[in-house]
Chain A
Amino acid sequence: MKQPPKLLTALLIICALQPALSGHAAPAKKKIGFSVYDMQYGFFQDMEKGTREASEAAGYDYVLVDQKSSESTMVSATQDLIDQGINALIISPFKPDALGPIVDAAKAKKIPVVVDDIGGGGTDYDVIVISDNDKGGVIAADQIASVLKGRPSATKKVASISCEPSAVYAARRNAGFEKRIKELGYTVVASLSANSKQEEGYKVAKDILSAHPDVAAIFCGNDPMAVGAAQAVADSGKSGVKDVYIVGFNGDEIALQAIKAGQMGATIQQVPEEMGKMTVQLATKLMNGEKLQYNNAEKREIYVPVKLITAADLGASTK
């Protein structure tokens, strides 16, 4: 018996049938594709968990690709997702600037695009889910005011350290904070950028402390800068909780440890898992052709709540 020709024919038939088989045989189950920024980071692992669990709970097929912090991989891997015949695309883009070809390819196949955090790159995405950054700044201001109220010796002077100016969403944190804290009767004696970096947060905080030794609290637009600021406060022989109350933003591990160790006061935690769940809900609505209720219609933004984390929370959750 000669096998090879038969085998070859079989292969050819399978190849020829492939698109038909996978395209029409199982039309019932919808498929959600998630293209994640980089699974190396805890933030995105949590985001992926939320996205996956919500997809599975809703009865969708779920497929994941990892951009591995490369804009080239971001486009090629997401293209692989689109080619697989997904019904909705969720993406947390490593480089929003390179979203153009992805959104165009998805739109050409009438696949709705839900962007999860980072940025939309000025493209034609359907909706972008971001943390409620402005509200987070307001929560930070309220927390600082309530802590300082219990300290008769504390001044009414606070400082604000922000991320790089190009980080537009992060800028809203400091804007929200400064507006609220002024309403509460405090003075923002310094509002400076430390480019999201811990070492720059340290330097900027040192400058603030030497210019205003009696500053009562510092709000930082992210946790690395807050940890840097806490180090600067500790260097000047003060406490980042009892003397200069420091609040960060993100809920990064380094900040949680600093809070537990009593080096800084609090952080505003983003909840990537909730963001992931939200993207699946939105994808469902988009697949059903429903209209979305935006928080900001012009920029097609939807916000996910953030939460305050203090030493009390960490003690309770023993995280």
Chain B
Amino acid sequence: MSSPQPDQDRRRAAIDWDLLWEKFGIAIVLILVWIVAAVGTPRFANLDNLSSVLRQSAFVGISAIGMTIAIIAGTFDLSVGSSQALSAWTAVLVAAHYGVIPAFIAAVLVAGIIGLLNGSLVVLLRIPAFIATLGTMFLISGLTFIFTNGQTARFNGKDFVWWGNGQLGGIPVPFLIFLLCVLIGIVILHRTPFGRYVFAVGSNIRAAHVAGVPIGRTVLCVFLIVGLFTGLGAALLGSRLYSAGPGLEPGFELNVIATVVLGGTRLAGGRGSMLGTLAAAILFATLANILNLHHVDAFVQRVAVGLVLLLALSVEGIRQRLFERWNRRNHQPTNPAP
């Protein structure tokens, strides 16, 4: 799937449309959607509403940053939903007893440990990521029900709930943290040796092995990073809701993966974009908001989300087919365009 051979062909073109689409495609879609919504949806272009959309994009988005790195590395993590519930609950509980900073540290620690567990299962026991993280998904969600006794933890201390509900210069705090995390993600991917390893492992694991990339350590770190970001997002969600309990957000892991894929990161690994993930997270939050503003029936909303997902997944296929055809045509200049 990670086709390395057309790279040379593509370089012949003056502008690499494929790369441009990968980097900015979804951002352009997002801008178009915002313009259409501003015109067609009453009260969309309203400061309160836009700030709600941006705030909402952060809770899935922050976890999606870790997931972007995981998918670029050719793996993924199904346990982020369970991990989110347990660490959000931990955050609320710790915030109530020990304060805000310990709460965030505890949440990130809990999810980080789950990430390490996932990584160890994949690297040391060689369980495929799909199975390993499916297993931990059930394991952690069961443990969360046992720890919490099915009860929701609740805390509404002002300094805690500010992180999920507050604003700084008119911009929602969770969104600012999201932006900061996107920056961190970009630095990790493009400015560190680890980032190069991630791309190498995801493009061609055998080649990476031959080139001396420490594959085991890289994959372990990838799962740890997924955990750390998920923990941070979870603490913010706990703060946003003033509470957290087991079964916090059904289908969260799929929302996260959908966001990454919609953002142009390839499920096959090796290529992906942090900015795409940022735009896709905002786009998903925007869609949910528009559907609510248009009072779309909840069942129709599910259909709409499904369609967007299918569209997102087919975009990658359509794009690849188009470029294959385009490249083929460039090989045979004698062949006139139809």
| A interface residues, Cβ below 8 angstroms from B | 11, 14-15, 18-19, 21-22, 38-39, 63-66, 68-73, 75-77, 79-81, 83-85, 95, 97-98, 100-101, 104, 121-122, 166
User: For chain B residues 230-262, which have a beta carbon within 8 Å of chain A?
Assistant: 237, 240-243, 245, 248-250
User: For chain B residues 32-49, which have a beta carbon within 8 Å of chain A?
Assistant: 35, 38-39, 42-49
CB of B31, distance to nearest CB on chain A (Å): 12
User: For chain B residues 257-297, which have a beta carbon within 8 Å of chain A?
Assistant: 288-289, 292-293, 295, 297
* Stretch with Cβ within 8 A of A (4 or more), from B14-22, B97-105, B150-158, B308-316: B150-158
A19 B245 Cβ-Cβ under 8 A: no
B42 to chain A: closest residue by CB: A22
Is B161 located at the chain interface by the 8 A CB criterion?
yes
Is B56 located at the chain interface by the 8 A CB criterion?
yes
Contact (A14, B38) CB under 8 Å given A71-B241, A100-B243, A101-B240 = yes
B242 A80 Cβ-Cβ under 8 A: no
CB of A95, distance to nearest CB on chain B (Å): 6
A65 to chain B: closest residue by CB: B292
A77 to chain B: closest residue by CB: B292
A14 B39 Cβ-Cβ under 8 A: yes
Contact (A95, B298) CB under 8 Å given A11-B39, A75-B241, A101-B161 = no
A97 B245 Cβ-Cβ under 8 A: yes
CB of B281, distance to nearest CB on chain A (Å): 13
Q: When chains A and B are docked, how far (Å) is the Cα of A166 from the Cα of B43?
A: 40
| Residue in contact with A15 in the complex, picked from B38, B243, B249, B293, CB distance below 8 Å | B38
Q: A11-B35, A79-B52, A95-B152 are in contact. List 6 more A-B contacts (CB 8 A).
A: A64-B295, A66-B297, A71-B248, A97-B242, A104-B165, A166-B151
Cβ contacts under 8 Å, B288 to chain A = 76-77
B240 A71 Cβ-Cβ under 8 A: no
What are the nearest 10 A-B pairs in CB distance? A100-B242, A66-B298, A97-B152, A97-B243, A80-B292, A98-B241, A83-B49, A72-B249, A18-B45, A83-B48
Q: Mark B297-324, 1 if CB is under 8 A from A, else 0.
A: 1110100000000000000000000000
Is B199 located at the chain interface by the 8 A CB criterion?
no
CB of A18, distance to nearest CB on chain B (Å): 4
B165 A18 Cβ-Cβ under 8 A: no
Size of B's binding interface in residues, CB under 8 A: 40
B243 A95 Cβ-Cβ under 8 A: yes
CB of B256, distance to nearest CB on chain A (Å): 13
Cβ contacts under 8 Å, A97 to chain B = 152-154, 241-243, 245
B46 A18 Cβ-Cβ under 8 A: yes
CB of B23, distance to nearest CB on chain A (Å): 24
Cβ contacts under 8 Å, B152 to chain A = 71, 95, 97-98
Contact (A84, B240) CB under 8 Å given A18-B42, A18-B45, A72-B59 = no
A18 B243 Cβ-Cβ under 8 A: no
A72 B43 Cβ-Cβ under 8 A: no
Q: When chains A and B are docked, how far (Å) is the Cα of A19 from the Cα of B96?
A: 39
Q: Which of A38, A83, A85, A166 has the most CB of B within 10 A?
A: A83
B241 A101 Cβ-Cβ under 8 A: yes
22 A/B residue pairs, CB under 8 Å, sorted by A: A11-B38, A14-B39, A19-B45, A19-B46, A19-B47, A22-B46, A38-B298, A68-B298, A71-B243, A71-B245, A71-B248, A73-B249, A76-B52, A77-B292, A79-B52, A80-B49, A80-B52, A81-B292, A83-B48, A83-B49, A84-B293, A101-B161
